[in-house]
A = this chain, B = another copy of it.
Amino acid sequence: MTQPVDTLFAGALVVTMDESERLFEDGSVAIRDGEIVAVGRRADLAHLESRETVDAAGKLLMPGLVNSHVHMADSLFRSLVEDLPLEPWLERLWISERAFVTHDNVELGARLALVEMIRCGTTTALDMFWFPEAGADAAVAAGFRLLTGPIFFDFEGPDGIAKEDRVSVGEAWLDKYADQPLIIPCVQPHNHITVSPEGMQAARRMADDAGVLFHTHCSETSTEVRQTQERFGRTPVGHLDDLGILDGPAVLAHCVHLTDDDFSRLQRTGAAAIHNPLSNLKLGSGIAPVARLLEEGVPVIVGTDGPVSSNDLDMWTAMRFAGLLQRGANQDPLLTPARDVVRMVTSVGAEALGLGDSIGRITEGRRADMILIDLDRPHLTPMFDPYAHLVYAVGRDDVRSVMIDGRFVMRDRALPTLDEETVLADVGLLAEKIRAHAATIGTA
């Protein structure tokens, strides 16, 4: 190579998650123009000329985490609604959402979520929320890779978009963000109860026309399954499949309650299941059959869900729950080995979201979405198995630096693209109003 590279990470334990899942104990990774151009042993990359060399000794370098299901701006309502099952919980939450969900507040909530996600080492998220342009603009400003896009919802929502306008508004949205390198548009109806079969099919067509991913909630609670059976005579997965929704790329958040037939349909269609263990447990929805999904070859990826139900956006905690729950629930300690869980939030996560060619692995030709983890911590000492550490011991504050698309969005814990202090202060002010409003409806 004659041209110098931009950044050389030198001397890290590199967990590549590449096709052969290579580890380099004293490894280096070189970046040029936001792309990974070389990966290997430090000695083998020592000849590279670099504008900047980052000493990564004592650190673990791995692909950034993919949070496959989040509602960013729900961060504004963190811990406002507790101890309710999903359906009444949503009804209660929606009262506050209707009062406070404006474009500007969504952008503020998105910035709060971005601060939190970047601090925890998340480099890509799939966000579903009102005013998706507010979340997208916040992500672009923060240098964060975000999948988001038009939502569908048949009832009155805080965005004031009439049901019959959602297709045209959505198409305009997809056009607007089609060329933003960090925004990956998708189409996301809330679910098949709040959106009619016709609405679901219109959303699917919109996704197909634009060549983008389809994202919806599916089979989260037993109540939802019962309602779906009553209304449509089918399970949620069966309903979506029969509507043709699963004929194109689709990711289904939750998949907690599945029949044998549902497993077959998921397997046949290639839809991915997004496991959200934190919210599924907290809302009493249940424990998703992740072990069986994996056994049947259904891709399982992981999300935190929104911070009203989760109650934070910590992917390390979500990974730990994903890695431990199946073992306990099935009394089988061989289920979900740590490396499988790391795949769910890196290589497999990226593939299921349609980003397998660009992110999710540290390998030549991919975009440089990577995180540096400080191993010099008491809870990470000693280390005999790096994958076990990543799933069972690493935490958000062990993440030292975060790079997205070749650009540092966290460097030694500092956030160059976000004004954290102002974000926290602004949210604090808004929270006073949310609290006062909640008091008027007798719940806070």
Q: A222-B331, A284-B330 are in contact. Are A385 and B79 (CB under 8 A)?
A: yes
Q: Is A427 an interface residue (CB 8 A)?
A: yes
Q: A282-B392, A325-B281, A397-B395 are in contact. Are A385 and B82 (CB under 8 A)?
A: yes
Q: A378 is contacted by which of B284, B376, B420 (Cβ under 8 Å)? A: B420
Q: Is A383 an interface residue (CB 8 A)?
A: yes
Q: Are B85 and A333 in contact (CB under 8 A)?
A: yes
Chain A residues 320 to 343 lying within 8 A of chain B, measured CB to CB, are: 320-321, 324-325, 327-335, 337-338
**Interface 1/0 per residue, A40-58 and B, CB below 8 Å:** 0000000000000000000
Q: Are A395 and B392 in contact (CB under 8 A)?
A: no
Q: Is A259 an interface residue (CB 8 A)?
A: no
**A119 proximity list for chain B (CB < 8 A):** 378-379
**Interface 1/0 per residue, A332-365 and B, CB below 8 Å:** 1111011000000000000000000000000000
Q: Are A384 and B338 in contact (CB under 8 A)?
A: no
Q: Are B78 and A384 in contact (CB under 8 A)?
A: yes
Q: How far is the CA of A83 from the CA of B383 in the complex (A)?
A: 16
**Interface 1/0 per residue, A311-322 and B, CB below 8 Å:** 111100100110
**A116 proximity list for chain B (CB < 8 A):** 378-379
Chain A residues 6 to 26 lying within 8 A of chain B, measured CB to CB, are: none
Q: Is A160 an interface residue (CB 8 A)?
A: no
Q: Are B334 and A83 in contact (CB under 8 A)?
A: yes
**A324 proximity list for chain B (CB < 8 A):** 278, 281-282, 321
Which of A59-67, A226-234, A431-439 lines the interface with chain B?
A431-439
**A332 proximity list for chain B (CB < 8 A):** 284
**A282 proximity list for chain B (CB < 8 A):** 324, 327-328, 333, 392
**A411 proximity list for chain B (CB < 8 A):** none
**A320 proximity list for chain B (CB < 8 A):** 317
Q: A112-B378, A378-B420 are in contact. Are A284 and B79 (CB under 8 A)?
A: no
Q: How far is the CA of A155 from the CA of B282 in the complex (A)?
A: 43
**A222 proximity list for chain B (CB < 8 A):** 331
Q: Is A115 an interface residue (CB 8 A)?
A: yes
Q: How far is the CA of A330 from the CA of B222 in the complex (A)?
A: 12
**A379 proximity list for chain B (CB < 8 A):** 116, 119-120, 307, 312-314, 396
**Interface 1/0 per residue, A58-92 and B, CB below 8 Å:** 00000000000000000111111011111001000
Q: Is A286 an interface residue (CB 8 A)?
A: yes
**A383 proximity list for chain B (CB < 8 A):** 78-79, 431
Q: Are B396 and A395 in contact (CB under 8 A)?
A: yes
Q: Is A416 an interface residue (CB 8 A)?
A: no
Q: Is A195 an interface residue (CB 8 A)?
A: no
Q: Is A283 an interface residue (CB 8 A)?
A: yes
Q: Is A99 an interface residue (CB 8 A)?
A: no
Q: Is A428 an interface residue (CB 8 A)?
A: yes
Closest-CB distance, A372 to chain B (whole angstroms)? 16
Given contacts A82-B385, A395-B397, 10 further A-B contacts (CB under 8 A): A79-B392, A82-B338, A82-B388, A281-B328, A282-B328, A282-B333, A285-B328, A321-B324, A384-B434, A384-B438
Give 9 A-B contacts (CB < 8 Å), ordered by A residue: A79-B385, A278-B324, A281-B325, A285-B328, A285-B331, A307-B379, A325-B328, A378-B423, A384-B434
